[in-house]
Amino acid sequence: MGNLIVADQKGIQFQCLSHGYKKENLVCHSLFLKQGELLTITNRKKYIVNVGWFILIQTNNNIEEFVFVEELEEALNNEQIMDEIDCMLKISSISYYLDQSLVSRNKEEFLKFSALRNELAFLYEQLSGKVLIES
């Protein structure tokens, strides 16, 4: 359904459903994902009474886990994980600041934005399976 990539350098941790159907008998475990790992969101989901929704994700095309939807949404909002469009927009934004640092001849900002742009370009390439065209 949707592909995402872990963008946070420190990685990210999710609570995953092991089993149970009520809050009282819910058993969860943690899943830690490193930067660059891919997530594929499927259309399978489970609702746990008094807890909320869990959605099935595939990590790096091999491990399947039910992840708490609220944690997934929070990670998206904090840009800890990104989809292809968010990654492209971030690269475009960073490219603007990179150009501005060149115009102002600010070496520190140029190096900072250059490294950030390279990191995002690598993530985008991993996520999309395409080669990023430089402008």
Residue 103 sits in the same domain as residue 91: yes
Domain that holds residue 121: 84-128
Q: How confident is the model at residue 6 (pLDDT cuts 50, 70, 90)?
A: very high
Residue 134 in any domain: the answer is no
pLDDT tens, position by position, 99-115: 999 999 999 999 999 99
Listing DSSP states for 98-128 in one string gives: HHHHHHTT-HHHHHHHHHHHHHHHHHHHHHH
pLDDT tens, position by position, 28-82: 889 999 998 999 999 999 998 888 899 999 988 688 999 999 999 999 999 999 9
Residue 55, number of CB atoms within 10 A of its CB: 18
Residue 92 sits in the same domain as residue 70: no
pLDDT tens, position by position, 75-102: 999 999 999 899 999 999 999 999 999 9
pTM for the whole structure? 0.79
Residue 15 sits in the same domain as residue 73: yes
Residue 19 sits in the same domain as residue 77: yes
